[in-house]
Chain A
Amino acid sequence: MSLEPTTKPVSAVSLQNISKRYGDNVILADVNLALSPGKTVLLWGSNGAGKTTLLKLIASRLRPSAGQAQVFGLDVLQDAAFVREHVCYAPVLGGFYGSLTGRENLELARHFYGATADALEAALARVGLNNAQGQLVRRYSSGMKKRLALAKVHLSGAALWLLDEPYASLDESGKALVDDLLQEAKRERRTVIVASHDLARAYALSDAAVYIDQGRLYARSPAAVSPFQPAPREAVGNHAP
């Protein structure tokens, strides 16, 4: 018995030997990650590498086939209900009811997250959907749906944001909005994992980067394969290939 665990700071995300399989199809293989609270991490990799699966697993939506996953010290399997109180996952597309208006969708989210009515108004204003809040979501463009998802993240007040392709479908002002939200998250000491193909943009706002390939995680910045110059980075965890 050691007293060390009680004195060790709790990781925002801790993955130990995580695997996820569907039959013989291995999606995640022996993934290890320790992410300190308040850090922003870029998760990058090609299509089908396992980014979304990893995010859903951290969000407690998927059960790992093997290994242990914890969010702020809470087990994603045993304490899934508590994990969801601290996590907000924004998917690549959708996640809203098309036959409800943007406002009605956010009203539901507001109730579930226990946010105030003022927070809802602030979130709508922040993402620039004030004028479109009364429209049915099925009439929204992809970019507007993405803004609505960002409003939900803003509204959630969650300590851990999992953003799956936050820049996708957005115009330049939308992308700037994502940048602002990421900077705000950093100021508020929120932990953020950004899965993105917009590497230069996302990496510029990240404290570290992890690369995922065929379900395996590597500590590798996109600078290794991209022409842009990386800023100095702070180590935020350990990653095992």
Chain B
Amino acid sequence: MRLSVWEGTKQGVARDISTIARLAAKDLRLEIRSKAVTIATLFFSAIVLVILALAIGPEQQFLRNGAAGALWVALAFAGVTAASQSYQHELEDGAFEQLLLYPIGRATVFLGKLAANWCFMVLLAVILVPLCGALFGASFAQNPGLLASTIALGTLGFALIGTFYAALTANLRARESLLPVLMFPVVVPVLLAAVSATSEIVQSGNLTLARDWLRLLTGFDLIYLVLCTALYGVVVEE
């Protein structure tokens, strides 16, 4: 009996993971076909980085000091746009309503959309990091493992809050302006920890401090993961 319960749980978990993967693949496929978010966010992020580099001036030390902050500003702005747009395909033709009528859990829907948004932000970061390095003269390649962890955890935190709040504002007429207003106060701890960890890795090389910031970032992500997953069902109900 114990074995069959365990087998049932295992099958249920495997099915949920498969559903999450399908939902994420669906969102990424929709984005690959429309390219709307990719073009808008890439262009926007690149412009942000160029403007910030120009504003700081030619002094190499100042530029290097501002590199981590500039990278996360570009990622944050792009992340808001991506989160906001991630529900556009859903709202067309009532597809999201149908998605919510399928026999799948609300948490599964949230995790599927989160996975897609996170993948998108990580890919964006992969493009922006070398661009930022070139514009700001910063070496992001010193500790690639630690930097990759920081970007993965920072973008995860951002995607968590973005996916959650985008669902909350998806049906509102003023969603484009409301989303950042609601999101940024909540995302501040994630951004603070991500910028600080990146800054320690790129500039001062104090890896112990960087790891401390990463632990804090992991803590924030876990809290947001539990809260957002649990509350998503309430947010999407009518």
Partners in one complex: yes
Residues of A that sit less than 8 Å from B by CB: 59-63, 81, 84-85, 87, 89, 91, 93-100, 104, 108-109, 111-113
Residues of A contacting B101 in the complex (Cβ-Cβ under 8 angstroms): 59-61, 84, 87, 89
B93 in contact with A96 (CB, 8 Å): yes
Min CB distance A101 to B, Å, is 10
Is the Cβ of B22 less than 8 Å from the Cβ of A111? Answer: yes
Are A112 and B92 in contact (CB-based, < 8 A)?
no
- A62 and B238 contacting across the interface, CB-CB below 8 Å: yes
- Between A and B, 23 residue pairs with Cβ closer than 8 Å are A61-B100, A63-B237, A63-B238, A81-B103, A84-B101, A84-B102, A85-B103, A87-B101, A89-B98, A93-B93, A94-B92, A94-B94, A95-B97, A95-B98, A96-B98, A97-B89, A98-B92, A98-B95, A100-B29, A108-B22, A112-B103, A113-B102, A113-B103
* Pair A84/B92 contact, Cβ less than 8 Å: no
Contact at A100–B26, with CB atoms within 8 Å?
Answer: yes
Interface residues of B in 1-47 (CB under 8 A from A): 18-19, 22, 26, 29-30, 33-34
Q: A residues within 8 A CB of B238?
A: 61-63
CA distance A113 to B93 in the complex (A): 21
Whether B102 lies near A112 (C-beta < 8 A) is yes
Structural contact, A100 and B237, CB atoms closer than 8 A: no
Known: A61-B97, A61-B100. 6 other contacts (CB 8 A): A93-B94, A94-B95, A97-B92, A98-B95, A99-B34, A104-B29
Q: Is the beta-carbon distance between A112 and B104 smaller than 8 angstroms?
A: yes
Question: Which residues of B194-238 have CB atoms within 8 Å of chain A's CB atoms?
Answer: 237-238
A147 to chain B, nearest CB (A): 15
Interface of A: prevailing SS:
loop
Task: Tell me, in angstroms, the Cα distance from A111 to B21 when the chains sit together.
Answer: 11
Chain A residues whose C-beta falls within 8 Å of the C-beta of B105 in the assembled complex: 81
A100 touching B94, Cβ below 8 Å:
no
Name the A residues within 8 Å of B95 (CB-CB).
94-98
Q: A63-B237, A100-B26 are in contact. Are A84 and B103 (CB under 8 A)?
A: yes
Chain B residue total in the interface (Cβ 8 A): 23
- Alpha-carbon distance A207/B105, docked complex (angstroms): 34
Query: In the docked arrangement, what's the CA distance between A104 and B28, Å?
Result: 13
Question: Are B29 and A109 in touch, CB under 8 angstroms?
Answer: no
How many whole Å from A115's CB to the nearest CB in chain B?
11
Is B97's CB under 8 angstroms from A91's CB?
yes
Residue of B nearest to A107 (CB): B22
**For the complex, what is the distance from the CA of A63 to the CA of B236, rounded to whole Å?**
12
Enumerate chain A residues within 8 angstroms of B100, measured Cβ to Cβ: 61
Q: Measured between alpha carbons, how far is A84 from B89 in the docked complex, in Å?
A: 23
Contact flag A95-B103 (CB < 8 Å), given A63-B237, A100-B29, A111-B19: no
**CB <8 Å contact, A112 and B19:** yes
Q: How far is the CB of A61 from chain B (nearest CB, A)?
A: 6
Across the interface, do A98 and B103 meet the contact criterion of CB distance under 8 Å? no
With known contacts A84-B103, A112-B102, A113-B102, A99–B97 Cβ distance under 8 A: no
Among the interface residues A62, A63, A94, which one has the most CB atoms of the partner chain B within 10 A?
Answer: A94
Q: How far is the CA of A125 from the CA of B159 in the complex (A)?
A: 40
Q: Report how far A85 CA is from B89 CA in the complex, Å.
A: 25
CA distance A81 to B34 in the complex (A): 32
> Closest CB-CB distance, A145 to chain B, in whole Å?
8
Contacts of B97 in A (CB 8 A): 61, 91, 95
Nearest chain B residue, comparing its CB with the CB of A105: B95
Sorted nearest first, the 8 A-B pairs with minimum C-beta distance are A94-B93, A95-B98, A112-B102, A85-B103, A84-B103, A94-B94, A99-B33, A99-B30
Chain B proximity of A148: nearest CB distance (Å): 11
Query: Which residues of B lie under 8 Å from residue A85 when comparing CB positions?
Result: 103
A109–B19 Cα distance when bound, in Å, is 11
